[in-house]
């Protein structure tokens, strides 16, 4: 039996500079590690800000192995904790990608993912959409997948990871006030219908007129919220259990799928 995985979600506001964001990430990583967390998830675009405009996003964009990734790797190694963080990734062919990266406690980078579903005019003005579906990777005996914010609202995105055997889907997000149905309904539903955990780490506070809704949560494989945050800053820590997954999957719908019946759905625009 694989070991349990202790997950920390950092619900926080955005800071004016990368240096301040990295300093706060280091403090939070130390706190999460001291509480027994193996893995810390920060919000979407957590190290640069999200609602900052196309010019600022382009100016702050870096390659996946750039200074930001190296700084996060140093934090992960210092505190012995894996970190999922969001950042703008350089794109030689156009606008930057809205990306997230998993960095292990030894500083290695087993997964980088680019947001594939862009939400609203702001997202589309600032970013290019990624063109590759998320892929499962293995860490500490767990099969993990990354999505970003709006991606989790598409059942196909989570189902694709479930069909690869994902045990947990990790979602940095910047969901805004007025869209609480995502945290209250969709995230638990994605977890339940795919018999996996979903960790949803949202931003809080404001960036100019943009207000973020908080309500970060971890939902288990029966769609039950294990921990939830309110509207303000929070650090949530919770253990994910392989025993729970094994029990929930005894009643999974996945073995009873009939893919041939669903093929027309992928042909409709």
Give the separation between CA 61 and CA 45, rounded to whole angstroms. Answer: 11
Residues 6+ apart with CB under 8 A from 190: 152, 155, 158, 169, 198, 219
CB 149 within 8 A of CB 183: no
Q: Which residues are catalytic?
A: 44, 115, 149
CB 96 within 8 A of CB 53: no
Question: What angle do the packed helices 67-79 and 18-34 form, to 10 degrees?
Answer: 20
Residues 6+ apart with CB under 8 A from 7: 37, 38, 39, 41, 168, 170, 197, 199, 218, 237, 238, 239, 240
Cα distances from 18 to residues 21, 87, 111, 229, in angstroms, run: 5, 10, 22, 25
Q: From 52, 71, 31, select the one nearest 174 (Cα to Cα).
A: 52
CB 92 within 8 A of CB 62: no
Q: Which residue in this structure is represented by tokens 């794109």?
A: 91
Q: What is the DSSP letter of 190?
A: H
């Amino acid at each position: 039996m694989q070991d349990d995985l202790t997950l920390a979600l950092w619900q926080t506001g955005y800071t004016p500079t990368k240096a301040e964001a990295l300093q706060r990430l280091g403090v939070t990583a130390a706190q999460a590690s001291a509480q027994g967390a193996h893995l810390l998830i920060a919000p979407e675009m957590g190290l640069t800000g999200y609602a900052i405009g196309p010019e600022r996003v382009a100016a702050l964009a870096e390659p996946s192995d750039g200074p930001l990734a190296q700084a996060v790797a140093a934090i992960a190694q210092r505190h012995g904790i894996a970190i999922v963080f969001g950042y703008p990734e350089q794109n030689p062919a156009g606008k930057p990608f809205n990306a997230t990266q998993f960095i292990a406690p030894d500083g290695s980078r087993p997964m980088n993912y680019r947001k594939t579903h862009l939400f609203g005019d702001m997202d589309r003005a600032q970013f290019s959409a990624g063109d590759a579906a998320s892929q499962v990777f293995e860490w500490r005996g767990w099969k993990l997948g990354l999505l970003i914010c709006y991606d989790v609202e598409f059942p196909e995105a989570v189902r694709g990871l479930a069909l690869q055997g994902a045990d947990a889907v990790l979602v940095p997000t910047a969901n805004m006030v007025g869209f609480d149905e995502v945290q209250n309904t969709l995230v638990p539903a994605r977890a339940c219908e795919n018999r996996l955990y979903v960790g949803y780490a949202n931003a809080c506070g404001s960036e100019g007129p943009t207000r973020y809704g908080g309500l970060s949560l971890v939902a288990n494989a029966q769609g039950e919220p294990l921990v939830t945050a309110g509207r303000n800053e929070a650090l949530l820590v919770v253990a994910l259990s392989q025993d729970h997954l094994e029990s929930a999957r005894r009643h999974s719908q996945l073995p009873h799928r009939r893919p041939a019946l669903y093929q027309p759905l992928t042909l409709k625009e």
